[in-house]
Amino acid sequence: MMQVVLSALALTTVDGSHGVLRRQESFVKSLEFHQSLRVCNAFPMESPLDLYRGKTRLTGDSPMAYKSCRDFTEPMKSGDRLEFKIGDETAGTFSVSDLPNNDAVLLLIIHRHDTLSTAVSFESHVFANLANPQIAVIDAYRGKSAAHASILEGKTANQSRTEELRYDSVVAVNPGIYKVELTGQDDETKTTQQLVALSHESYVILRTGVEAQVGTTFPQELVIFPASDAAKLKSSAGDLRAPLTFLTLLSVMFLLLGQ
Please write the tens of the pLDDT for every residue from 48-107: 999 999 999 999 999 999 999 999 988 888 888 999 999 999 999 999 887 777 778 899
Residue 178 phi/psi, 5-degree rounding, is: -130, 165
Average pLDDT score over residue span 145-153: 92
- The alpha carbon of residue 31 and the mean position of all alpha carbons in its chain are separated, in whole angstroms, by 24
The model's confidence at residue 17, banded by pLDDT at 50, 70 and 90, is low
Kindly list the distances between the CA atom of residue 30 and the CA atoms of 5, 9, 33, 47, 79, in Å, as whole numbers in the listed order: 5, 13, 10, 43, 22
Burial 122-132 (b: 16+ CB within 10 A, else e): bbbbbbbeeeb
**Mean pLDDT in the chain?**
81
Q: Among 65-69, 74-78, 156-160, 189-193, which stretch is predicted with the lowest mean pLDDT?
A: 156-160
pLDDT at 13: 46
Q: Chain-centre distance of CA 51, in angstroms?
A: 16
Query: β-strands 81-86, 50-53: how paired?
Result: antiparallel
**Is residue 137 within 8 Å of 171, Cβ to Cβ?**
yes
Write down the pTM of the prediction. Answer: 0.79
